[in-house]
Structure 1
Amino acid sequence: MAAPPSPALTTHAEAITHLSLDPVMAAVIARVGDLPVLPPTPDPFTTLVRSVTGQQLSVKAAASIYARVQTLLGAVTPETLLAADPEALRGAGLSWAKVRTVQAIAGAAQSGAVEFAHLGTQDDEAVIAALLPLPGIGRWTAEMFLMFGLSRPDVFSLGDLALRQGLARLYPETPPAEVLAAWAPYRTLAARYVWADKALARAGGAPV
């Protein structure tokens, strides 16, 4: 029987203490400051659809397109997505690839191929395995969903270019596997700090 998933963090105190045992990460945390605790989504289906619509877009552009999709559909549900004219979804701002993906997500939800209501009870790899068969869903998308949708505490996506660059910048002499092993079981928060530190560096608030 698979182990139950690790629960979402309700506070970062213990995670910060653990991550700060690493002096490099301790300096990152000091530079960045507190990050908000992320609660798990009450609606995994809609969260995944919204995540897909916003991929490779700025936050502002993603919000604008999702708002147009909501206006078009009235409510974002498997039924409304499957009933929508693909041309209308394209007109709302989705690329053809994203139209295919969100309608595939809707089809999987409606058929029960992916039981979104039960994803929160499955371990990380089971969630990834459930999502990967959907067109347009790769491991990176599934890992982002685990991190920001289900608020899993121990996910670090090596498929994310910014995270790989962050590791190379912060730990030029240390193998990534060694760094990640030291951060477990709080690698999600570590990833968020690596992202935040990179953003701070770009803004001129920290050395690159």
Structure 2
Amino acid sequence: MPLPVHQAPLADHAAAAAHLSRDPVLAGVIARVGDLPVLAPTADPFGTLIRNVTGQQLSVKAAASIHARVTATLGEVTADTLLAASGDTLRGAGLSWAKVRTVQAIAQAAKTGAVDFTHLSGQDDETVITELLPLPGIGRWTAEMFLMFALARADVFSLGDLALRQGLARLHPDAPTAEILNRWAPYRTLAARYVWADNARVKAGGEPV
């Protein structure tokens, strides 16, 4: 059965890149960065959100290490195993107390049905955000990253992300933000990924636009 339009993953990079390339500045970024991998929706939204939380504010390597320790400690990362574990056990696996509180709140929400992770992928973007925001430690930025990288939503650009705001200001210093984002719709997720990639290129010593 085909996915609803609001749930469709961004799979056609050629069409998306062609649309974004109508912006000559972003066209230059796309040419410099090249193709990016296609995002696909996760089969495990609950586990993906837990992994996202455990890896927040860590390097990729450190995040993978912490998640591996949590998995080894619990045997399997599920709502039941997270709720059965003591805070001290999760702290011993490398989580901060704030993250312990968040992952156990997510587990409790999944267990009680306060957040129905099995049907979350069928909700529109704002509904997903509204479902997640009441959870402690989950802000709009986390929810938007979840939309982008767990649910593979095509049209998300997080203005709560400092690097995206800085990249947007660097690429279009004199244009209103809303105007640029409207121009990039409905492929703002891919636009954001290109902005991040270009930020990394500039940080590594590449020539700025």
RMSD: 1.0
5 Å-filtered alignment, 1:7-156, equals: 7-156=8-157
In structure 2, distance between residues paired with 1:7 and 1:206: 35
- Post-superposition shift, 1:207? 2.2
In structure 1, distance between residues paired with 2:7 and 2:114: 24
Conservation of the 8 A alpha-carbon contact between 2:98 and 2:137: yes
In structure 1, distance between residues paired with 2:29 and 2:74: 43
Conservation of the 8 A alpha-carbon contact between 2:7 and 2:122: no
Runs of 4 or more above 2 Å deviation:
205-208
Conservation of the 8 A alpha-carbon contact between 1:197 and 1:206: no
Quote the residue 2:169 is aligned against: 168
- Post-superposition shift, 1:6? 3.9
- Post-superposition shift, 1:4? 5.5
- Post-superposition shift, 1:204? 1.6
Secondary structure of the residue that 2:70 maps to in structure 1?
helix
Give the structure-1-normalised TM-score. Answer: 0.97
Q: Which amino acid aligns with 1:38?
A: L
In structure 1, distance between residues paired with 2:5 and 2:88: 41
In structure 1, distance between residues paired with 2:104 and 2:116: 15
Conservation of the 8 A alpha-carbon contact between 2:47 and 2:77: yes
- Post-superposition shift, 1:199? 0.3
Number of positions where the alignment pairs a residue of Structure 1 with one of Structure 2 = 206
Secondary structure of the residue that 2:160 maps to in structure 1?
coil
Conservation of the 8 A alpha-carbon contact between 2:7 and 2:121: no
Secondary structure of the residue that 2:119 maps to in structure 1?
helix
Quote the residue 1:205 is aligned against: 206
Quote the residue 1:195 is aligned against: 196
In structure 2, distance between residues paired with 1:69 and 1:37: 28
Q: Which amino acid aligns with 1:153?
A: A
Secondary structure of the residue that 2:41 maps to in structure 1?
coil
In structure 1, distance between residues paired with 2:7 and 2:192: 17
Conservation of the 8 A alpha-carbon contact between 2:157 and 2:192: yes
Instruction: Spell out, residue by residue over 1:91-111, the C-alpha distance to the aligned partner (whole angstroms, 9 max, x if none).
Output: 111110000000000000000
Conservation of the 8 A alpha-carbon contact between 1:31 and 1:206: no
Conservation of the 8 A alpha-carbon contact between 1:52 and 1:98: yes
- Post-superposition shift, 1:205? 2.9
Aligned-residue sequence identity (percent) comes to: 73
Indicate how the Cα distance of structure 1 residues 4 and 13 shifts in structure 2: closer, same or farther if over 3 A, else same.
Answer: closer
Secondary structure of the residue that 1:5 maps to in structure 2?
helix
Secondary structure of the residue that 1:116 maps to in structure 2?
coil
Conservation of the 8 A alpha-carbon contact between 1:41 and 1:150: yes
Secondary structure of the residue that 1:14 maps to in structure 2?
helix
| Structure 2, gaps ≥5 residues long | none
Q: Which amino acid aligns with 1:61?
A: A
Q: Which amino acid aligns with 2:52?
A: S
